[in-house]
Chains A and B, each alone.
Chain A
Amino acid sequence: MMNDDATPPEVPNRLNEDWRYGRPQQFAAELAARINGRGTGELTTDAPAECVRRSLPEGADACPPSIGSDYFLRRALQSGGDVLHIVLPRGEWGTAEVPLRIRCHTGSFYAPQLCVELLPGSRAHILEEHTHDRNSALVCLRSYTVHPDAELRLELRETGDDASRTMNISRIQCRENARARQLTTCSGLAWAREETTGELCGAEAELLLLSANRPEGGQWLDQRCRQLHHAAGARSRALYKNVLRDAATCIFGGNIRVEPGAHESDAYLSNLNLMLSAEAAVHSLPQLEIMADRVRCSHGSASAPIDPEQLFYLRSRGIGEADAQAILADAFLHEVYLLFNQPRSTQP
């Protein structure tokens, strides 16, 4: 359900999963204030010119579904931000990464729209870098379609300052025998919301959603992911790991939904948090909705401080407390990078 233009963002409501854990009022107000201003930013790519268009084709379904952020989605579409439509035909793209850069100018609101298609047999490695100049707000609509037998390796690195806010509303659609893996990392921002809807639309499709973050100070990281299994015999994995310091807050809402008929789906969803401070907080809610048969699905969520025995073991070898903590924090996130970088055939 979309809000009418004049309707302010929804009031937090316990029954509304989207806002249940966030601090969205403040963010919404701040973002809404900026939405009224003129958006300035840059959306650039090094992809070959023949693959790039600055507008969307007529009738393209390039708008990602939001996970309860309809207000922002609509405002972003209205703001008329830049559009990039990239179509990558069969072949290898970006063995040294196809860069996509989004830069949000100081004090501004920017809402670009990114639509990338990997045509059948295309293999691409894309690095998406979002940077914020001071005190800016970004709402980025991202849509990736991975056609049959194509393979996408996508890294999103978001960096900004502690007066900036960001929101990514994303969709990754995997068709038959398509493979996609996304790794998101976000650092420095006051408030970041990452939404990804993964859609598995064909047999043997495979999707890996990964995220590794180190929120600190008073940062809020709000992560939402959905694994929608529309077709039978597809596989999806989501692993979101965060190392929290200071008074950082993480919110995680994850959902595996296996539609009727999507038999033999194989899906896994996990949110794990390492708490380096007693003031840090995590609200995590992974969910399953299964409407098909012979399905293998599991989900989990855990938040824990550093294992004191491990910390002592490192310190007993002379490694100082801060260094030992840093080593263990790196070790905690290591699994995410390992999964992102491992060869396709050995994906768990």
Chain B
Amino acid sequence: MSLIVKNLQARVKDGPVILRGVDLEVPKGEVHAIMGPNGSGKSTLSKVLCGHPDYEVTGGSAQLDGQNLLDMSPDERSRAGLFLAFQYPVEVSGVSNANFLRAALKARMPEGEEPDAVAFYKRLRATMQRLGMDPKMTARAVNEGFSGGEKKRNDVLQMLILEPTCAILDETDSGLDVDALRIVSEGVNSLRAPFRSFLVITHYKRLLDYIAPDVVHIFHRGRIVRTAGPEMADYIEQHGFDFLKEDDA
């Protein structure tokens, strides 16, 4: 079981076609990286998989553990085990980080049940400490006024608390300082398990040095155009995406 995407096509509602037939399979226990030029559609793929309302799927399929993602609402997809650490995490003023996470955990529990408050806060504090986050952030509004790096860490915090079975990280490394990059990578690595899969979107090899991927995919013009081993990241670091021009020709 795994994340299986077949010939996925999507467009911006009333707008341009962005995904032009994405084929991707991330088996459980594996970490796959996606690299590709700006604007090639990597974030769009991640948002379409999570059911972002801006996009309309026009063809293909996407399954998680045998369930058809495209039939599910965004919250159902999350409860089914999918998680996206956003390239640009959203600010939600008036909702504290702690209440937000409690609501997300509660949504995974049977109707009428709530997470135990003491255990929840204990776990939240411990996880924040691991990520080097100020404990005061539990009371602060979700991402509001957070620095770029703090927002990224906050999304990783959510991932560590929600423990998804398939996590997509969209440029979680950009905006992180050197220490944060290591800390966040350790957090991700701590979740690696035979029953979990990761899709890591990045422009930089340094993240992949920490989170050793099993496979590297190259995304270009709305689809995956190459699939290779981790050495691909080194090649791109040195040569860039010039080789894709042949594809365009």
Cα of A317 to Cα of B74 in the assembled complex, Å: 8
B78 within 8 A of A: yes
Binary interface encoding of chain B residues 59-78 relative to chain A, with 1 for a CB under 8 A from any of its CBs, else 0: 00000000000000111011
- Verify B74–A310 contact, CB threshold 8 A: no
B15 within 8 A of A: no
- Verify B107–A313 contact, CB threshold 8 A: no
B84 within 8 A of A: yes
Q: A308-B53, A309-B90, A321-B73 are in contact. Are A316 and B95 (CB under 8 A)?
A: no
Which of B79, B86, B89, B90 has the most A CB atoms < 10 Å from its CB?
Answer: B90
Cα of A316 to Cα of B54 in the assembled complex, Å: 14
* Stretch from A135-143, A198-206, A325-333 forming part of the interface with B: A325-333
- Verify B95–A327 contact, CB threshold 8 A: yes
Q: Which residue of A316, A328, A334 contacts B74 across the interface (Cβ within 8 Å)?
A: A316
- Verify B78–A310 contact, CB threshold 8 A: no
Which of B53, B54, B86, B103 has the most A CB atoms < 10 Å from its CB?
Answer: B103
List chain A residues, Cβ under 8 A from B91. Answer: 310
Which of A318, A323, A335 has the most B CB atoms < 10 Å from its CB?
Answer: A318
List chain A residues, Cβ under 8 A from B92. Answer: 310, 313-314, 328, 331
The A35-91 residues at the B interface (CB cut-off 8 A) are: none
B38 within 8 A of A: no
B28 nearest CB across to chain A (Å) = 20
B9 within 8 A of A: no
- Verify A320–B93 contact, CB threshold 8 A: no
List chain A residues, Cβ under 8 A from B210. Answer: none
Q: Which residue of A309, A318, A334 contacts B107 across the interface (Cβ within 8 Å)?
A: A318
- Verify B104–A318 contact, CB threshold 8 A: yes
- Verify A323–B95 contact, CB threshold 8 A: no
- Verify A319–B103 contact, CB threshold 8 A: yes
List chain B residues, Cβ under 8 A from A332. Answer: 94
Binary interface encoding of chain A residues 291-325 relative to chain B, with 1 for a CB under 8 A from any of its CBs, else 0: 00000000000000000111011111111110110
Cα of A331 to Cα of B158 in the assembled complex, Å: 19
B130 within 8 A of A: no
Q: A308-B53, A327-B103 are in contact. Are A318 and B75 (CB under 8 A)?
A: yes
List chain B residues, Cβ under 8 A from A335. Answer: 94
Cα of A77 to Cα of B13 in the assembled complex, Å: 60
A24 nearest CB across to chain B (Å) = 34
Which of B78, B84, B86 has the most A CB atoms < 10 Å from its CB?
Answer: B78
B182 within 8 A of A: no
Binary interface encoding of chain A residues 157-184 relative to chain B, with 1 for a CB under 8 A from any of its CBs, else 0: 0000000000000000000000000000
Residue of B nearest to A329 (CB): B94
- Verify A318–B94 contact, CB threshold 8 A: no
B54 nearest CB across to chain A (Å) = 8
B243 nearest CB across to chain A (Å) = 34
Q: A312-B52, A323-B103, A323-B107 are in contact. Are A318 and B79 (CB under 8 A)?
A: yes
Main DSSP-derived SS at the A contact region: helix
- Verify B74–A315 contact, CB threshold 8 A: yes
A297 nearest CB across to chain B (Å) = 25
Q: A314-B100, A328-B95 are in contact. Are A320 and B90 (CB under 8 A)?
A: no
Q: A317-B162, A318-B104, A319-B107 are in contact. Are A330 and B75 (CB under 8 A)?
A: no
List chain A residues, Cβ under 8 A from B124. Answer: none
Cα of A331 to Cα of B141 in the assembled complex, Å: 9
- Verify B73–A315 contact, CB threshold 8 A: yes
Binary interface encoding of chain B residues 145-169 relative to chain A, with 1 for a CB under 8 A from any of its CBs, else 0: 0000000000000100010000000
Q: Which residue of A308, A321, A327, A331 contacts B75 across the interface (Cβ within 8 Å)?
A: A321
B203 nearest CB across to chain A (Å) = 23
Cα of A310 to Cα of B93 in the assembled complex, Å: 9
B218 within 8 A of A: no
Q: A310-B90, A330-B94 are in contact. Are A317 and B53 (CB under 8 A)?
A: no
List chain A residues, Cβ under 8 A from B99. Answer: 327
Residue of B nearest to A334 (CB): B94
A276 nearest CB across to chain B (Å) = 15
- Verify B93–A331 contact, CB threshold 8 A: yes
Cα of A160 to Cα of B159 in the assembled complex, Å: 44
B125 within 8 A of A: no
List chain B residues, Cβ under 8 A from A316. Answer: 50-51, 74-75, 77-78, 83-84, 86
Seed contacts A314-B103, A319-B103; 14 additional CB < 8 Å A-B pairs: A308-B53, A310-B91, A312-B52, A313-B86, A313-B90, A313-B142, A315-B75, A316-B77, A316-B83, A317-B158, A317-B162, A318-B78, A318-B79, A318-B104
Chosen A-B contacts, 15 in total, with CB atoms closer than 8 Å, are A312-B52, A312-B53, A312-B74, A314-B100, A314-B103, A315-B51, A315-B75, A315-B78, A316-B75, A316-B78, A317-B158, A323-B107, A327-B103, A328-B92, A331-B95
Chain B residues in the interface with A (C-beta under 8 A)? 50-54, 73-75, 77-79, 83-84, 86, 89-95, 99-101, 103-104, 107-108, 141-142, 158, 162
Going nearest first, the 4 A-B pairs with the smallest beta carbon separation are: A331-B94, A318-B78, A334-B94, A313-B90
